[in-house]
Amino acid sequence: MISDNSNHFDVAIVGGGINGASAAQHLAAAGYRVFLAESGDFANGASARSSRLLHCGLRHLADGTSPAEIIRNPLRLFRALNTVREDMIARDEIVQSIPDRVKPMTFCLPVYRQDTYRPWHMGLAFSVLRMTSPRGVALDYQRYRPDAANLPPLSRHLRAADQLSGMVSFREYMFDWPERIALDALNDARHLGAELRNYAKVTRLQRDNGLWCLTLQDGSQVSSPVVLNLAGAWVDSVSASAGSNAAARCQPISGVHIALKLPEEFDGHGVFAFNRLGEPLYCLPWRGHHYVGLTRRPHSGDRAEITATDEEIDWLLAETNHCFPCLGLTRKDVLYSWAGVNPLTADPAEPLGSREIKIHDLEADGLPGIFSLTGGPIMTHRRVARRLVARVRERLKPSRPEQSPTYDRRRVSGDAEILQAATEAPRSLADLMMRRLGYGWDPDQGLSRARHVAETAAPALGWGRSRVEQEIEDYINHLKDARRRPSAEAPSQEHN
């Protein structure tokens, strides 16, 4: 067992995604001595692979379920309304406190005669949204008749104009980009006294004398009375490493996106349509191009190395072509793809997982002092962190005075930004490009800037000439693997 006091903390956090980062920030501000271990790079799990939407909550009211079905299931409706309220409050807080980390867009939703919804259902849904936050950030809801002269220009690419019963549009925000928001929270946590380690997998949790002892992959150990298991899609395996054999709390759902260059009529506009399974299909504007998502499948394989398959890419292309037939998109149009695993909440009634945000107290599973989280999206990370602080407070008093978290830190740009990123514990050029600087999300995935970034950061990171060359090569290979383009055209690509 650990005798060194420097390895003893009030709270240990497993997982450095958006929820781990935000929990570390809020707990450190509340006066707790915090340790956080992340097995890969910070914010490299689901937090780096989402649709990046700061949803207003419409998806919970229009998830493809018919209004009659919603009314027949009051418990589900009650849950949906609760989640809508959480989303709207989170939207207000994030847009108002970090306006330069989110981007507004006009989200258009075409409504067809044969759809589950009528345009007036949408009007009703937006009234409900507004009621949950009457003075919050504007929704800019607008309803168009199918023959209106002021229909958004992208509507000319929509399928079956003669079957359109109308269109609605509203203001939605996107995180640009979530990994940076996690890194900002981690910087603040460090500033408030937290100890943070990336590339430090927690391999074992043992209980000794009322404390949890966490063993990291390098053999080092830390102890704490409280552990927050915020390991995303890995929460159940982390609980198992502490000796729990309780039923799974997480339902991992994989999702794929593809990036495309669309005609200029789409600029600044997103489309919220329904695919042929009746599920939402998002087409989102992003730094001069668009991306489309997403697939939804229960996931059981490797969660870290997941990539989009040709089959998934073809399916997304076919669904996008179904919405916009004249685009005639093929595999050649795919700039890049990515895949992630969403740690949703396990619920026997919902095979594709429940979106209910749940904090599980694992005491009943024989793990006193361990809490785990499922279903916590990016957009509610601060609210979840505050709820976690409240749960920790029930067990433990803070050992230090309280401070305030700082959400909006001073920004730098150009080479100063690269040098600052080099102080944020990157191990590779990919860590810099993807998560700290975000250039990897440009249409060329940052390839035109990779050398400059590597050479500018090299002195601070102790990289010599050959290491710089190796990092550039590794970055190119990383893009080829993790963000793969599909192989040459499939024999019978669907273009209906």
CB atoms closer than 10 angstroms to residue 176: 16
Of 277, 274, 323, the C-alpha closest to 160 is: 323
Q: Which residue has the tokens 């989402």?
A: 50
Q: Does the protein bind ligand FAD through residue 319 (CB under 6 A)?
A: no
Closer to ligand FAD by CB, 44 or 445: give it: 44
Q: Does the protein bind ligand FAD through residue 292 (CB under 6 A)?
A: no
115: amino acid identity, one letter: D
Judged by CB under 6 A, which of 12, 28, 45, 225 binds ligand FAD?
A: 45
Q: Distance between CA atoms of 50 and 64, rounded to whole angstroms?
A: 20
CB contact at 8 A, 178 and 114 = no
For Cα atoms 267, 271, 275, give the angle at the middle one, nearest 5 degrees.
Answer: 145
From the CB of 349, what's the least distance to ligand FAD, in Å? 20
Q: Distance between CA atoms of 222 and 215, rounded to whole angstroms?
A: 7
Tell me the residue length of the chain. Answer: 496
| Site size with ligand FAD, rule: CB under 6 A | 39
Q: Does the protein bind ligand FAD through residue 376 (CB under 6 A)?
A: yes
CA distances from 17 to 186, 233, 256, 261 (A): 10, 11, 19, 29
From the CB of 495, what's the least distance to ligand FAD, in Å? 25
Residue closest to ligand FAD (Cβ): 17
Q: Does the protein bind ligand FAD through residue 201 (CB under 6 A)?
A: yes
Judged by CB under 6 A, which of 25, 44, 169, 321 binds ligand FAD?
A: 44
CB contact at 8 A, 25 and 241 = no
DSSP 323: H
CB contact at 8 A, 307 and 339 = yes
Q: Distance between CA atoms of 147 and 165, rounded to whole angstroms?
A: 9
Q: Does the protein bind ligand FAD through residue 270 (CB under 6 A)?
A: no
Site string for ligand FAD, 336-375 (x = CB under 6 A): ----xxxx-----------------------------x--
Q: Does the protein bind ligand FAD through residue 436 (CB under 6 A)?
A: no
Judged by CB under 6 A, which of 10, 38, 86, 319 binds ligand FAD?
A: 38
Q: Does the protein bind ligand FAD through residue 207 (CB under 6 A)?
A: no
Closer to ligand FAD by CB, 372 or 456: give it: 372
CB contact at 8 A, 167 and 155 = yes
Judged by CB under 6 A, which of 9, 12, 19, 29 binds ligand FAD?
A: 19
Q: Distance between CA atoms of 48 and 180, rounded to whole angstroms?
A: 9
Site string for ligand FAD, 213-232 (x = CB under 6 A): -----------------xxx
From the CB of 376, what's the least distance to ligand FAD, in Å? 5
From the CB of 204, what's the least distance to ligand FAD, in Å? 9
From the CB of 380, what's the least distance to ligand FAD, in Å? 7
From the CB of 379, what's the least distance to ligand FAD, in Å? 4
Pairing type for strands 226-229 and 11-14 reads parallel
Closer to ligand FAD by CB, 18 or 313: give it: 18
Which alpha helices (DSSP H) does 37-177 contain, by range?
58-61, 67-72, 74-97, 119-132
Judged by CB under 6 A, which of 185, 378, 433, 457 binds ligand FAD?
A: 378
From the CB of 410, what's the least distance to ligand FAD, in Å? 25
Q: Does the protein bind ligand FAD through residue 321 (CB under 6 A)?
A: no
From the CB of 50, what's the least distance to ligand FAD, in Å? 3
Closer to ligand FAD by CB, 37 or 329: give it: 37
Judged by CB under 6 A, which of 12, 28, 30, 51 binds ligand FAD?
A: 51
Closer to ligand FAD by CB, 61 or 454: give it: 61
User: In the chain, what is the greatest distance between 2 CA atoms, to the nearest angstrom?
Assistant: 75
Q: Please list the helix, strand and coil fractions of the chain in percent, rounded to the nearest 5, in that order.
A: 40, 25, 40
CB contact at 8 A, 460 and 423 = yes
Which backbone phi and psi does 473 adopt, to 5 degrees? -65, -45
Closer to ligand FAD by CB, 12 or 151: give it: 12
Closer to ligand FAD by CB, 30 or 43: give it: 43
From the CB of 299, what's the least distance to ligand FAD, in Å? 9
Closer to ligand FAD by CB, 167 or 238: give it: 238
Q: Which stretch binds ligand FAD (CB under 6 A): 50-58, 68-76, 95-103, 142-150?
A: 50-58
Judged by CB under 6 A, which of 33, 49, 290, 435 binds ligand FAD?
A: 49
Tally: H helices and E strands in the chain = 13, 19
**Dihedral of the alpha carbons of 480, 484, 489, 493, in degrees to the nearest 10:** 180
Judged by CB under 6 A, which of 37, 137, 181, 260 binds ligand FAD?
A: 37
Q: Distance between CA atoms of 88 and 86, rounded to whole angstroms?
A: 6
10 Å CB burial of residue 302 (0-12, 13-18, 19+) is exposed
Rule CB under 6 A: which residues touch ligand FAD? Answer: 14-20, 37-40, 44-47, 49-53, 201-202, 230-234, 238, 255, 294, 340-343, 373, 376-379
